[in-house]
Every structure is written in C-alpha cells, then in structure tokens.
Chains A and B, each alone.
Chain A
Amino acid sequence: MRDVAVIGVGCTEFGEHWSTSFRNLFVEAGALALEDAGVTGEQIDALYVGNMSAGRFVEQEHIGALIADYAGLASNHAASTRVEAACASGGLAFRQAVTAVASGMEDIVVAAGVEKMTDVGTGASVDTLAGAADREWEGFAGATFPGLYAMIANNYMHRYSLTREQLAQVAVKNHDNGVHNPIAQFRQRITIDTVLNSSLVADPLRLFDCSPITDGAAAVVVVPLERAREFTDSPVRVLASAQASDTIALHDRRDISTLDATVAAGRRAFAQAKLKHSDIDLVEVHDCFTIAEICAIEDLGFCAKGEAGKLTEEGVTALGGALPVNTSGGLKACGHPVGATGIKQIYEIVQQIRGEAGGRQVDANIGMAHNVGGTGATVVVHILGGC
C-alpha cells in the first residue's frame, strides 16, 4: 500500500443556492480544488462523488457520469463513480479515493461530495432523509431523522447527567466557530436562549439543535505521497482511513445512545495511525444534531461516556480549548448538504493543518474527521497530518 496525500481542496459556499444548479455546484468546488492542487483536468485518473439522494432531491441519477461530463472530463474518459452511504457519502467517497491511490490502481484522484436539497419542500426533504434509516420498520411508523436522534437524546439524558443547557451549548459553540468560516451557511452567534426558545422539532430537540437543509459541494485532490511535492509545498498526509457499519435501525442497537460504528471506526483509525487521543489537535465530528456531537466525542474515546456535556460547558471543545471540535462550525453552522459534508470536513482539516483557517485557526498538525451515515449505520473516520 502506498501512502496518500491531499494536495488540493475546494468548497462552495454552503446555503440555499436558488440560482445555481446541482451540476454547477459541483463544478465550482471541483475547479477550486484543481486550482488549489495545480492539477489540470487531463491529469485526473478517477473521481469518486459522494451523493446521498440526487434521485429524490433533484430527480437526477447517474451522478458519476454527470459530474465527469460537466467537469469537462468526458472527452478523456476519466473513471467516475458515485458513492452513497446517506450522510456519510462524502467521507466514504474520500475513503474510496484514498483506497484507489493507496492500492496503486490510480494516481491522481478527485474525491467530491455534492447535494442540492432545497429544490424540494420541507415535508419531502424530511421524507427523503428518513430513507437514511430503515424505511420499512422506522419510517413506516412515522420516524423522522430528527425523531430518531431525539430518541437517542432522551435515552442519553435518562441515563447520564446532561443538561438541556449543555446540549444547547454545542450549537452555541459551533455558531461561534461558523462566524469565522466564509463557506458557512450561518455566520451569526446565537445564545443558549436562542436554542431553548426555538420551536420543538422532536422532543427534546429544538430547531437550533438541528443542522439545516442546505445546498453545497466540496472536492479534494489526492495523489501518492511520493508525488505530492510535484504539485504543492504543503501536502497533507492521510494517516488513517477507517470505516465501520452497524444495524440500519436504531431499535436494533446494543445501546441506543452509543454509536458502536463510531467506536469501531475510531479504534481502527487510531490503530492505523499509531496515535493516541492526546496527539489529535482538532476534530470535525458529525453534529447533524447537538446530541450527535456529544455522543461522537465520547464514542471516539476523547472522554468517558456521560462526560461530553460537561466538557462542552467548560469550553474544552471550543476554539481555544484543549480539544477544538468542529472548528468549521460543524454541520450546525456550515449547513449539512448531506453528500458534501464528509468532504467539507476534510477541507476543514486540511485548511487547519496548512494554517489557512483565518479567524478559526487553531494550533494544528494532526486532525480527525468523523462522518456518520443515518443514525450510525455507517461511520467513516479519517486522520490527517502535516508533512
């Protein structure tokens, strides 16, 4: 296996793109990544495109080919593959690209993620996202995606000491970080009262506990590490790429408020990279809901079960804390274009390691990205480090 490096990253602004089509979103992110990498289109061997549900959001399938075509790569016949794992589609597309390069099958590969969610109404998007869970045995009963995470939250709060205020602080912290991120959908601070006074979506989760419906795309370019300096002076090395699965339905889990796939993928990633928790300078975790960030910090092993709320309250996970979590603003402030989120996490880690994160810059040499599909049926964890 060859070592792999990221040599370029690009991302559109996340938000409601009323005047930009699905394909144009991707082209914008892809062009930014190629420009950043100093790579021309003809040099690209393959693309992996993370996308959850273009079929339902924009009624377009065959995304791999569409993306290759509109990226101007149809004439050189680059291999292009769509990768789907619900909200982990982007992280998994990155893993596929890393695998392809590491194996020696491909040399210059683009990993991208794209989703356009605002072309359908709220009820339809709620229904589409519910497809990330078990349609026949959860969706049939009326389960929504926020509803499933709300059941995780209630189970968690029944068993561990987590206050409603600590949960709200996750959103407050991520909005604080998003203020400094030019691609974030929300760049304004909020208070705990903002969260607690927002409307209930699925008890105990309120509107400001939830990541929004968002359009956006992100892309990164990966090459063998040995070739990285042909393109850039600041390659970022992929130190670990781990993936794990679990039951699709929340009701079949061993423990309702522990994501065992996160536990497994996290352990595998640490073992691959031969690193300890204290080596990690920052983490982008999958905060589709505030409770998800609490579970992620614990399930990745950064603290014991039941302690992440206190850590958040004490500022340990804030920008100036010992373990900055979601420096980008997370899914909460950046927005969550489901297929693009996993790539945006890599984009953030790379920017942090290269020292290009502006007002949200932390002291970073090693970063982790944690991307979850559904309520935890797929988890992808990557560790990246400066060279």
Chain B
Amino acid sequence: MSVSRFWRKIPQRYNLIGTVCTTCGRHFYPPRSLCPDCRRGGKIIDHQFKGDGEVVTYTVIRTASDQFDSATPYVLAIVKLDEGPNLTAQIVCTPDEAHIGMRVKSVFRRIAADGESGVIHYGTKFVPAE
C-alpha cells in the first residue's frame, strides 16, 4: 500500500472511529459517508467504537503478499463488533487458539512495513478476550 493512501486514513485506523447513521441508527466500520439503507436521507456522524467483538470467521494466512510475507503464518478474521458492523483484521493469537465465536478486543499494533527501512503501518488488531 502506498504511503499516501496509508496516512490518509490515520484517525479511523488508530482509534477505531467509524460512523453511525443517526436517521436509522446503523453503525459503520469501516466508516461510510452514505447510509446504504437511508441513502441521501441519512445523517452520518463519527462514532468511536468500544472495540469489543466476536470472530465470525477466520483463516490462517500462510502465503502472503510481499509486504506481509515475514509475518506468516498469521490469523486473519472477520470480527463482528458489538455495535453491529463487521471488519477484517488480524487476531494476535496462535493458529490453534483461533475459533469461530471467540470473544476479542481491539489493540493498537504494527500491521506491516514497506521493507526493512520503510514506513511502518500501524492499525487495529484484536486479541483474545476470554
């Protein structure tokens, strides 16, 4: 991922800030600026998620793109946040620990780096909360 594209998203990635449609109450993470249900009738504002959730499904990535190659194997999951929305994130646990239905909480971690001396990307991962 290019440096510019990464930096542009800093607030949302660092703080798990998404959005909520105050018209229908639906929460969005990743953030959306248009509610798919209310469309232009929806009023969207920022929302800070608590970071608690549950694993809907997961996998263990063993062949990665070059950027993540040195991190393999790693557990990747779709996490359902308690407020409603799903997101894709890594779980900091061993492949054996991961399971569907596992309770997790968000943490701020290093995600990847652009080579050995390149920019380090930080963002949200999850840890087991059981």
Contacts and interface: CB of A to CB of B under 8 A. Distances in A.
Interface of A: 122-124, 126-127, 130, 134-144, 146-147, 150-155, 158, 199-205, 249-252, 256
B64, B85, B112 interface centre (most CB from chain A within 10 Å)? B64
B15 interface: no
A151 B65 contact: no
Contact of A141 (B56, B62, B88, B100): B88
A332 B90 CA distance: 28
Interface in B99-117: 100, 111-112
Interface in B60-117: 60-69, 71, 74, 76-78, 85-90, 95, 100, 111-112
A22 B45 CA distance: 48
B63 A202 contact: yes
A98 B90 CA distance: 43
Contact of B69 (A123, A147, A158, A250): A123
B93 to A, nearest CB: 13
Nearest to A145: B65
A135 B69 CA distance: 17
Given A123-B66, A123-B69, A203-B62, A155 B76 contact: no
Nearest to A137: B30
Contacts of B112: 142
A127 B86 CA distance: 23
B30, B62, B68, B77 interface centre (most CB from chain A within 10 Å)? B62
Given A123-B66, A203-B59, 18 more contacts: A127-B65, A136-B5, A137-B30, A140-B13, A140-B111, A141-B76, A141-B123, A142-B112, A151-B59, A152-B57, A154-B57, A154-B59, A154-B100, A155-B100, A158-B100, A202-B61, A203-B95, A251-B88
B61 A142 contact: yes
Contacts of A143: 61, 76, 88
B65 to A, nearest CB: 4
A144 B88 CA distance: 11
A200 B62 CA distance: 7
A147 B59 contact: yes
A137 B32 CA distance: 12
A144 B86 CA distance: 18
28 contacts: A123-B66, A126-B65, A130-B65, A137-B87, A138-B88, A140-B1, A141-B123, A142-B61, A142-B68, A142-B112, A143-B88, A144-B63, A146-B63, A151-B59, A151-B76, A151-B77, A153-B59, A154-B57, A154-B58, A158-B57, A158-B100, A202-B59, A202-B62, A202-B63, A203-B59, A203-B62, A251-B56, A251-B86
Contacts of B90: 141-142
A151 B121 contact: no
Contact of A250 (B13, B78, B123): B78
Given A137-B30, A140-B1, A141-B123, A127 B59 contact: no
A55 to B, nearest CB: 14
B9 interface: yes
A249 B88 contact: yes
Contacts of A152: 57
Contact of A252 (B74, B86, B121): B86
B76 A256 contact: no
B121 A140 contact: yes
Contact of A199 (B61, B62, B111): B62
A138, A141, A151, A158 interface centre (most CB from chain B within 10 Å)? A141
Contacts of B59: 147, 150-151, 153-154, 202-205
